[in-house]
Amino acid sequence: MLTAMNLFVHEALLYRDDQSYLAGCLPFITSALDGDAPVMVAVPAANGALIRDALGRHAYRVPIVDMTVDGRNPWRIIPAVLRAFAEDHAGRPVRIIGEPIWAGRSDTEYPACVQHEALVNVAFEGTDAAILCPYDTRRLEPEVVWDAARTHPVIVRGTAREPSRHFARPEEVADDFNRPLPAAPDGAALMIYSTIDDLPEIRRFTLDHAARLGLPYDRAVDVQIGANELTTNSFRYAGGGGELRLWVENGTVVCETRDKGYITDPMAGRLPPAPDAPSGRGLLITNHTCDLTRIHSTPGGTTVRIYFRLPITEEGT
């Protein structure tokens, strides 16, 4: 069991096959169970099945969630997966296996994934928690493994653990991946908003275009909610209005806002504000509605993009 002498631990498990995966994960789980510490597994479904089968009769003691669903948007992992589990067991040390980066993550998703891994160190600093993050060295590019060494203080290979020689300040890594986003396509639907009185039209515009671009009604409403929160933030924090765009890109509907604001807190949208805080929930709400969030923010302005996957058709498109 974790003690006050051994607070937050964040490890990257480098594995190459099912055997090395289980060799790294099972002792982590069984040591938690032996110490009566709550333990959760949040990994892609196939790896979750491996762990469930290996645990046998003890599997019922370990919640196993599909990270490709619950953690599809990396911005949602800290508040809705990791801290939600820790808060359910407040006052007790917790152990979590979390695999937020897997083969198949897109180039668009990847920067958000690395920012997440870096900022886990901030979100859990000083807490009685241990988080083990597996990385598949067979299928992931070498630069992904390099980024794992920058975002995890400890590297695990088999039964060997060693301090990462390349671990970097979390805020530094997060800022490295605060990268400019490509220009929106020329045909994107565009609305210029200038005052808070434009909010009703923003909601109509967003719902209408999200549906026209192919989202079912409930997901079009999610786009509307996200756009409402983002543009409200423009009025509240960015000193005025901005630009709202929607388009289709690689099987997703993209909703973008651009304004003159500057997000200086890397944990914005990842941690809830105090219960009595009058604001600060807009980005958190937005991250819960969408499949991916990307943000580029500088003193010159902020661009936020939220992505919603289109339904798969019979033709697979």
Residue 25: exposure state from Cβ atoms within 10 A (0-12, 13-18, ≥19): buried
Assign domain 189-309 to its CATH architecture: 2-Layer Sandwich (3.30)
Distance from CA of residue 161 to its chain's centroid? 26
pLDDT at residue number 315: 52
Instruction: Pick the closest to residue 32 from 9, 66, 5 (CA basis).
Output: 9
Instruction: Pick the closest to residue 305 from 176, 186, 188, 144 (CA basis).
Output: 188
**CATH of the domain spanning 9-176:** 3.40.50.300
Instruction: Pick the closest to residue 231 from 193, 262, 265 (CA basis).
Output: 193
Q: What is the pLDDT along the chain (317 residues), one digit of tens a residue?
A: 334 445 899 999 999 999 999 999 999 999 999 999 999 999 999 999 999 999 999 999 999 999 999 999 999 999 999 999 999 999 999 999 999 999 999 999 999 999 999 999 999 999 999 999 999 999 999 999 999 999 999 999 988 899 999 999 999 999 999 999 999 999 999 999 999 999 999 999 999 999 999 999 999 999 999 999 999 999 988 888 899 999 999 999 999 999 999 999 999 999 987 776 666 688 999 999 999 999 999 999 999 999 999 998 655 54
Positive or negative torsion for Cα 274, 279, 280, 281:
positive
Question: Would you state the structure tokens that stand for residue 273, as one six-digit string?
Answer: 């504000």
Per-residue CA distances from 268 to 42, 113, 232 (Å): 23, 15, 15
Instruction: Pick the closest to residue 269 from 243, 241, 230, 242 (CA basis).
Output: 230
CA distance 163 to 39: 23
Torsion of CA 106, 139, 313, 74, to 10 degrees: -40
**What are the structural domain ranges in the chain?**
9-176, 189-309
Instruction: Pick the closest to residue 114 from 154, 85, 74, 73 (CA basis).
Output: 74
Residue 237: exposure state from Cβ atoms within 10 A (0-12, 13-18, ≥19): middle
CA distance 276 to 270: 17
pLDDT at residue number 1: 35
User: How many CB atoms within 10 Å of residue 97?
Assistant: 27
pLDDT at residue number 218: 97
pLDDT at residue number 158: 81
CA distance 236 to 45: 40
pTM: 0.94
Positive or negative torsion for Cα 105, 111, 117, 123:
negative
For the chain, give the percent of residues with pLDDT over 90.
89
CA distance 306 to 269: 13
Helices H / strands E in the chain, number of each? 11, 12
Residue 176: exposure state from Cβ atoms within 10 A (0-12, 13-18, ≥19): middle
Q: Which helix (H) or strand (E) holds 315?
A: none
